[in-house]
Structures are given as C-alpha cells and as structure tokens.
C-alpha cells in the first residue's frame, strides 16, 4: 500500500526507456574508458542494477555508502557508512546515484574520489530534481529523468526507509 497523498510520477516503462537512452549516451561517451563504477548505496542500487547491464564498455564495479537522509525525509550532514574497497587512484570513476537533489552527497563523493587520486570523476543519476536550492554548481554528467521539486520514492529511493522495491517512481503531495 502506497502512502496517502502520493501519486505516480514515472511508470516502469518510462524509467526503462529513459535508461535505454541514458545507456546509449554513456556507451558513446565512455567507450574505451574502463571506469570504476561506484554505486551509491542504498538508493542507487536498483538504478545501478538496471543500468550496468546496458553499458557496453569494460568496467569494474564497487560501491560507496554515503547518506544525508538516514531513512528520513530531510537531509543533514554526510554520514559515511562504507568507502570503496577498490582503489580510485589513477582511475576514471563513474558514480551512479539515484537522485541529484541539493548536490551535497555527489559533491562529497566526488571530493573523496579526487582526494584519493581519481584521474576523472563522472556522474550519472536516475533523477535530477529541478529547483534552486543547494549547490547549483554540482551537476551530473548524465541524467535519465528530470523531476519537479517533490519528495520522490520508489525504484531504489525510500520514504521513511520503505518503498525502495517499487518498480515505478512516486511523489508525495499534490501537483
């Protein structure tokens, strides 16, 4: 059962179609780069699991777990739960995350990779939330879908720790 006052934003077919287009663009841009792919846990798990099989270049896979939400609906300071086991030194690093909201998590992970010697950091997100909050200088290199400024969940993103398993994306509140 979905939370009250929630509505469908993107159905599964819309998401999968966007992932096909995203992967095609990434395949053209990253051919021959052999990046270290870092899935940002937990929200980026389903996005990464659906996107990676669509990528047709050599890559290595690892994860990083940095969160600002801690199963809540309001972000706070970055909480580092796990850093990659693989070295990012002298690697092209491809960060895969669920959503670019205010940019703090992506900025922190990018800074971590650069500090540890990454030669290049590239990012891809499932959703880019359209608003003027946060650090407008932080942009993802690849974006599957843009979404209005609402609290979204499903397809890896949670609402109060639940609903990550949904195969579509929903939002709280009225349009």
Q: Is the pTM of this model over 0.85?
A: yes
In a domain, 84, yes or no: yes
Assess if residue 58 is contained within a domain: yes
Residue-level length of the chain: 175
pLDDT in tens, 13-35: 999 999 999 999 999 999 999 99
As for how many domains the chain has, the answer is 1
Domain that holds residue 120: 6-68+78-172
Q: Is 163 inside a domain boundary?
A: yes
Q: Is the pLDDT of residue 90 over 90?
A: yes
Q: Are 42 and 65 in contact (CB under 8 A)?
A: yes
pLDDT in tens, 100-126: 988 889 999 999 999 999 999 999 999
* Position 31 in a domain: yes
pLDDT value for 58? 97
CB atoms within 10 A of CB 51: 22
101: domain CATH number is 3.40.50.2020
pLDDT in tens, 31-77: 999 999 999 999 999 999 999 999 999 999 999 999 865 555 555 57
SS3 17: helix
Q: Do the domain assignments include residue 1?
A: no
> Quick check: is 120 in a domain?
yes
Burial classification of residue 17, based on how many CB atoms lie within 10 Å of its CB (0-12 exposed, 13-18 middle, 19 or more buried): middle
């Amino acid at each position: 059962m979905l939370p009250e006052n929630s509505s469908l934003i993107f159905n599964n077919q819309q998401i999968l179609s966007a992932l096909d287009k995203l992967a095609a663009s990434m395949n053209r841009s990253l051919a021959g780069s052999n990046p270290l792919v870092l899935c940002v846990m937990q929200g980026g798990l389903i996005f990464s699991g659906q996107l990676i099989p669509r990528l047709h270049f050599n890559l290595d896979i690892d994860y990083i777990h940095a969160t600002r939400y801690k199963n809540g609906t309001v972000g706070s300071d970055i909480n580092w739960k796990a850093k990659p086991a693989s070295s990012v030194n002298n690697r092209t690093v491809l960060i895969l995350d669920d959503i670019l909201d205010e940019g703090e998590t992506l900025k922190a992970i990018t800074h971590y990779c650069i500090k540890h010697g990454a030669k290049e950091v590239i990012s891809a997100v499932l959703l880019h939330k359209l608003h003027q909050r946060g650090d407008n200088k932080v942009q993802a290199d690849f974006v599957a879908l843009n979404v209005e400024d609402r609290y979204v969940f499903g397809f890896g993103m949670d609402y109060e720790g639940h609903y990550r398993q949904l195969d579509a994306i929903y939002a709280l509140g009225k349009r």
